[in-house]
A and B are shown apart, each in its own frame.
Chain A
Amino acid sequence: MLTALAPDVGSPGKTRPHRSRHGNHFRKRTFTNYLLVSPALLLSIFIVVIPGIFTLLYAFTDWNGIGFEAEFVGVKNLQDIIADPVFATSLTNNIKWLALFLTLPVIIGLLTAALLLRCKRMRTFYQVIFLMPYVLAPVVNALVWQTIIYNPVGGVFGLLGITPPTALQPTSLYAAAAVDMWHYWGFLTVVYLGAMRQTPVDQVEAATVDGAGGWKVFVHVYLPSIRPTLLLMGVMTVIFSFLAFDYVYLLTQGGPANSSEVMGTFAYAFAFSSFQFGKAAAVGLIMSFFGLLASILYTWISRRSLLK
């Protein structure tokens, strides 16, 4: 009903009686608008920003997490952490994690998205199946793999008579990463497919008329067209690779012998196993540093689409 009214509004709307009244009205509206945007902002500031600033401060203290009294210890926490061999393992593991997530799920996501682009009839069906692991809880996914696949007694690995990779030092990290990637790649398929479908049809037709085959159309038309999406998802992957926690914590607890420790589990153990909250904050700070670099990059890349 209101949309039908819309065309009539143009002319009376333009004749505004008093400039001052308009200004007043606008100021009042601006105040209302700030009021409307404030709940979202305040919630984020009180729960994310202010505690974040505290982390920044407490990273330089011997805080034990009980109350807020703590001694300033300077850069001792950072020195201790960097000297800790487990930290080196964790950082290396985060980088391995990043390398895995920037390749395997991306390749599978692109391949399946490109195939779904041509397969119109079954598209929804496949997308729903691919997304099933993604919508399930990490706790459920991890425990399902642990119980029925990585189980030496009664699981798939038990059936094959192979020691599960979660129990071996060289493979434990990859065992956790495999489950995380299994749950994640379908999401990339859907995101890439969504981006590919935005590719202008005339570009694809022009390329096809020029005699380009499926592969050439993909490389020269679709890939350049989804470049912004690829880049943003890549930056997101960098951020989340440094924050990896759930699957490692649930499947290997960072073990055996710290072999699958990542910075997320390393920090968590400081806080909630040995109550060295100051050190935990320091590790959190190091993790955030990598995330922050990627986050600035992300904001920079997306500035155009953000501010248009």
Chain B
Amino acid sequence: MRNYFRDVIGHLVLAIFAVTALVPLVLVLLNSFKGNSEILGNPFLLPREFAIENFVTAWKYGRFTEGFVNSLLLTGTTVAVVLICSSLAGYVLAGQKVRSWPIIMVYLTMAMTVPIQLFIFPLYAVAAGLGLIDNVFVVGVILAAINMPFATFLMRTFFLNVPVEVEEAALVDGLNAFQLITRVLLPMVRPGLITVGVIVGLNAWNEFLISSTFLQGRDVKTLTLGFLTMNATFSTDIGPMMAGALVLILPVLVVFIALQRYVVDGMASGAVKG
């Protein structure tokens, strides 16, 4: 009886926190469909009409077509660079294959915690001098460098779980280091690659400080920056703002829910920056 009572209380507390997490998102859903007449009423009420034009307005003024393309290019660059570099480095560090591996580990730990404000100002000046401002690929590479230490640590833990015998067998079979990594080891750490890819992908997709500083031109803005620009014009127009928010929220949540196992495991297995 007492246990039953305790379980009910436990579920109630969890439910309250779930509601806390969800309320702002539900408000987005409810208000994205509301027309002008309903906007100033109660935000908790269900929409009486379905004002699809909110989405048309948001898409147009938030420049979401360009935004999606730019965000995909930027995130793709970051994920590709991080996966290649961090898996190679993670493999070497897991096997302790270089004598200075402890120094590299300490360096990466320090690099993981270096504030963006320590390097953004000179980096911006150099990029401006070289004409590399307003380039999504440049921002993609910068974000890759920032995510690299954490990604390398995570890849290293996945390589640690690969038995040494596998590598020895491959070397006996006459594979070189490159073949060993691409044909044997990478398929074995596939869950690790997915985990790192999703977490780093989300980081790059959502990033604000670097992207907003390095991407100023209207044609190079990412999805979130386009939405921010739209806010300047529509800050009092709740309908289109919420429609825009919904367009930005849905794809991220779909990807997250589809790959939640990897995200949750990745976060639980090691502290993730954020």
Contact = CB atoms under 8 A, between A and B. Distances in A.
Q: Which of B43, B99, B105 has the most chain A CB atoms closer than 10 A to its own CB? A: B43
A154 B264 CA distance: 36
B228 A124 contact: no
Contacts of A233: 271
Given A119-B10, A153-B40, A291-B113, A136 B121 contact: no
B113 A294 contact: yes
B206 A130 contact: no
B25 A7 contact: no
A interface: dominant SS = helix
**Majority secondary structure of chain B interface residues (helix, strand, loop or mixed):** helix
* Contact count band on B: 35 or more
Given A48-B146, A299-B110, A306-B109, A194 B248 contact: no
A127 B14 CA distance: 10
A307 B117 contact: no
Interface in B183-229: 184, 202, 205-209, 213, 224-225, 227-228
A51 B145 CA distance: 13
Contacts of B213: 272
Interface string A159-202: 10000000000000000000000101011001101110100000
A273 to B, nearest CB: 12
Given A33-B177, A141-B24, A191-B268, 11 more contacts: A48-B119, A48-B146, A130-B17, A139-B225, A156-B27, A187-B274, A193-B268, A236-B271, A272-B213, A281-B122, A284-B121
Contacts of B165: 3, 6-7, 9
A133 interface: yes
A9 B202 CA distance: 42
A256 interface: no
20 contacts: A2-B169, A33-B177, A67-B125, A116-B14, A129-B21, A131-B256, A131-B267, A135-B206, A135-B263, A136-B253, A137-B252, A139-B227, A143-B231, A154-B39, A194-B269, A197-B268, A236-B271, A281-B122, A299-B106, A306-B106
B148 A43 contact: yes
Interface residues of A, number: 117
Contacts of A197: 268
Contact of A132 (B25, B115, B241): B25
A299 B110 CA distance: 7
Interface of B: 6-7, 10-11, 13-14, 17-18, 20-22, 24-25, 27-28, 31, 39-44, 81, 84-86, 88-89, 91-93, 97-99, 102, 104-111, 113-126, 128-129, 141-142, 144-146, 148-149, 152, 163, 165-166, 168-170, 172-173, 177, 181, 184, 202, 205-209, 213, 224-225, 227-228, 231, 235-236, 238, 241-242, 245, 248-249, 252-253, 256-257, 260, 263-264, 267-269, 271-274
